[in-house]
Structures are given as structure tokens and as C-alpha cells.
Chains A and B, each alone.
Chain A
Amino acid sequence: MVPNRIQVALGEGVVANAPHIVLSSGLGSCVAVILYDAQRGIGGLAHIMLPAQLRNAECGMWNEQSATCTEPGRSVRIPKSTFQCADTAIAALLERLRSRGAVRRDIVAKMVGGARMFSCYENPDTGIGKQNVVSVKRILRRERIALIGEDTGGHHGRSVEFHLDSGRVIVMAIGREEREI
């Protein structure tokens, strides 16, 4: 079978089977969350933009105050789409993996992205990238899913290739060596 290369755009998510390859490019503050059941060759990737839906107080680093206090004019209207926010995206990936036959205890996670592209004047901890990373980790802990690889933070953009036959995740960045996580 010839593997398809499935592109995942900003704020979207995909679940696929081996031997396909799922790609997502141009990750800045966004995070690609990858869930994979190696036993069954089923996996998913979500290109998330935000740490959480605002209404979900439990994942509440992302709130109106923190989003507006350091950078005037930034607002916090939260999109409704499932794959745009870490909490709803991970829940949706898990549900779709389960319906394809993945077994919860065999699912592991990797994540890529969460950079602060323009670094000069801002505290890195207030950036959405950092908040995305923290939120994804918190949700994975709560869901008892092991995070077995990550390439996050820094000040550079990333693209990612997820090979469903092996579970390999290749991270590409301009001017840097490819990295496998």
C-alpha cells in the first residue's frame, strides 16, 4: 500500500492508520499533539492553537487577565472548533482513536511546537505557545497518557511528519537538522 501524505491545517485534526503519513507545517505558538497506538498502527494529530476553551476553568492558565495584562488589545474570544483548543482536541482525538479500535492503555503521546517567535520584549511564560505546552501536559497527565517525546519552546517555527507505520515523528525547522522524537 502506498502511504498517503495527509496535511493537517491550522486548527484541524486527523486520525489515520498505518502506513499513512500525517503532516503539519508552520507551527509557531501552535502545538501538534500526536497520539499513537503502536500495537494497532492507529494514530492522530491535532494542530491546536489555544490551551483550552475559556469556559473550562480547570485548564485555566488561559484567562482574560493573563491574555490582556502584558499586551494591551489582545482579546480572548475562544473559537468553537473542536481541534483548535487543547482540551477539546485531545478528547476528540481519543474518541476517534477508540472508535477505530485503538486501546486506551496502549496510546502514547508526542508533542511539537509551542514557540515564542518574536522574543525580544516579552516574558516567554506569558506566550500562548508556553501556555499550550503546559495545558497539553496537564491534560495528558489527567488522562494518564504517557508523553514519550517532545520538541517544544524556543524561538523557531517547526513542521512535523508523523509516520504511522513506525510511530516516528520527524521535526523540521529552517536552518536546523531534522530531528526525530
Chain B
Amino acid sequence: MNNQEMLSEEQVDFLREMMNIGAGNAATALGQMLRCQVNMEIPLAHVLPVPKVFSVLGDPSLPVACVRMGMVGDVVGELFFIVPAGQRADLTHLAERAMPGPTKKAPDLDLSVLTEIGNILVGVYLTAIHDFCQLHIYHTVPTIAIDMIQSLLDESIVALSPHVRALILIENEFIVEERHIRTFLLLIPAVQSVRTLVDSVEGARMAYGSE
């Protein structure tokens, strides 16, 4: 998004409201997967310049787990579910505990667990966007990698939108048995989809009021 196309503050607030609706469903879905009570803080929606996205996610030299999905449909682009370095062990520990005995030692289990959590979250958020904005957005099969955040995102930023000035970053905080686990969802619309996304968010904001 360049400066003219960037979401306004009101639109970001509205986006956050939509994400909040999605968050309730995400907590339920995760609770079923982890077999315990999962609560979620109200998600934060940030529109940040690209270098700031990297720094918000912590020390850029530390590895993050990153689940990438393509967006297809009314809005084209890519989605990333990001679990910062310090949070990964907590999340996979909870998931492994919920697994029945023999699967516990499966190799790459934590990768598939993180991929599935990303899948669930993206699904509920895209549903929320659909319900409010009437946008049909689907995601492609997720792939996961663990590395430095900038190295994971550089190709997508270059390919989708080299003029990009700001990205939409949604911060989710789960609370599981008093443990707080922060994860992030990064939305990179392709340059030709930015207008559609911004217009639809604005249309929904007007339709549902900004109270």
C-alpha cells in the first residue's frame, strides 16, 4: 500500500473489530485442538512500514516459525502466520500434551502442529472478512519454514508489491493456563488487490456503522 492507498485509522479500527469476532471462533477451535480452555485477548491490528514489521517480531537474527499461504479469490496475495522465537516451544508443548500417546514422538510434529494452528486462524479470520466485507478470499495449502523473519518475507514483499510502504499485521495473544502466547498474522495483498481490500473494508465500515 502506498500512502494514498493506506487504510485510515478508522478502517484499521474496523478491521480490528472484524478480527475480534474471528478471534472468538479461533479460541474455540484451538481449545478443541489443544483439549483445554483457550482464551484470546482482543487482537491488535497494526499497519506498519516494512522495516518496522521486522522489528515488532523481535530480534531479527532469531528464528521465527512462519506458515505461508497464498490468497486467491477477490483479494490476491499472501498470508503469513508467524510464531516468534520465544513462543514456539510453549505452543508445541501444549499441542503435544493433547496428542494421544504413540504420536508424541513423531518427527516434525511441532511443524505440523504450527501449520495446523496457522490454518485454523487464517480460516476464521478470512471467514470474518467474508461475513463483513462480502469478499470471497480463499487460502492455498500452507507451507512452513523456520528462519530469520526478513529472509522469509523478502521474496513475497518483492514479488507482490515492491512499492509497498505498509503491511497489515494482526497480533493475537492466546491465554492457555495462564501462559500468554503471542502470534502474528501478516497480510500482504498483491498490488492490484489493495484497492479492492481497502474499498471493501470501507464499505463494510459504513454499512455496519463505526460505533
* Chain A residues with a Cβ under 8 A of chain B: 9-10, 25-30, 49-50, 67, 71-75, 77-79, 84, 115-121, 127-129, 155-159, 174-175
Contact = CB atoms under 8 A, between A and B. Distances in A.
Nearest to B151: A157
B64 to A, nearest CB: 10
A155 B145 CA distance: 9
B72 A73 contact: yes
A77 B150 contact: no
Given A25-B61, A118-B145, A155-B145, A75 B192 contact: yes
A30 B148 CA distance: 13
Given A73-B72, A75-B192, A157-B148, A29 B155 contact: yes
Interface stretch (B156-164, B167-175, B201-209): B156-164
A78 B152 CA distance: 20
Contact of B60 (A26, A72, A74, A119): A26
A9 B143 CA distance: 27
A117 B60 contact: no
Contact of A26 (B141, B145, B148): B148
A128 B162 CA distance: 13
B63 interface: yes
9 contacts: A29-B154, A67-B159, A71-B70, A73-B71, A73-B77, A75-B159, A75-B160, A75-B161, A157-B148
B159 A71 contact: yes
Interface of A, secondary structure class, is loop
B51 interface: yes
A4 B149 CA distance: 25
A172 to B, nearest CB: 8
Contacts of B60: 25-26
Nearest to B147: A157
Given A10-B150, A174-B63, A174-B148, A75 B155 contact: no
A26 B153 CA distance: 9
Contacts of B51: 9-10
A49 B158 contact: yes
Contact of B158 (A29, A72, A158, A174): A29
Given A26-B154, A73-B77, A77-B191, A128 B159 contact: yes
Contacts of B133: none
Contacts of B160: 73-75
B54 interface: yes
A128 B158 contact: yes
Give the interface centre of A49, A67, A78 by most chain B CB atoms within 10 Å.
A49
Contacts of A129: 155
Contacts of B155: 28-29, 116-117, 127-129
Contacts of A159: 61, 148
Interface in B27-63: 50-51, 54, 60-61, 63
